[in-house]
Amino acid sequence: MIRRLLLAFCLLAGPAGAQEKPPETIVAGLSQNRVSITADFDGSEILVYGAVRRDSPPPEGRLDVIVTIEGPATPLMVRRKDRVWGIWVNNASIAVDSAPSFYAVATTGHLHDILSATENLRQGITIDRVIRAVGITAEADASEAFVEAMMRVRTGEGRYRLMENRVQLTEQTLFRTDVVLPANLTEGIYKVRLFLLRGGKVVASQERQINVRKAGLERMVYNMAREQPLIYGLVSLMLAAVSGWAASAAFRLFRA
């Protein structure tokens, strides 16, 4: 009787406990996972590389890769200027709950050809799916135009980027791409996501992180401004006064 019960338990538990391994997984790395912002920092280039690991022949269909890098997100206010009585003033605004300070998308092909809208909605890959702006329709007319304008501005500043056909895929196995981080980086954790796609669907994904921190004098000034604002203000005033006096003395010396 006991043997029959054990046999029945094994038959019931076997299919539920067995987990099939995905046919393809990602093995990826970064050229660096830490970036230091110093006085002469003018940006940094990150190499994202990896390989597709398989335990069986590759499935049918085209393989594509998407890499995203997302900077720390913060809330912000987006304002629209209108001409009122001949003067340009802030006439309407909306509050965006969360928008990344930096966002880049690199792909092996045209984004709309390799990624379905349903999968984009589920994974949140494109920039418009990452920005969170809940309830903005009640704050201003044509509120979606505010978010679109904010995206255009940040794209023009190089903080939002779409880099199609910039991921190199070799023999359906090895991939790499280079992403340039701008000089005006926000301090914090940058999230790197990698996606494998077949037929517009994500079949595997992986996440890495880049730690961006101020270093040296910039770090000391940053900490003082946050932790000791009174001392920071006094030092700033003293430096401004000394700089003004030095400039005035140099001007008098040159005139003499």
Q: Name the residue ranges covered by the structural domains of the chain.
A: 22-72+100-214, 216-249
* Spatial CA neighbour of 169 closest among 66, 22, 24, 55: 66
22-72+100-214 carries CATH number 3.30.1370.110: no
Answer yes or no: is pLDDT of 16 > 50: no
Helix ranges (H only) for 94-216 are 111-114, 117-123, 127-130, 143-156
- pLDDT tens, 173-210? 999 999 999 888 888 999 999 999 998 999 999 999 99
Q: 35: which strand partners?
A: 212
Task: Give the least confident one: 24-33, 180-189, 217-226.
Answer: 217-226
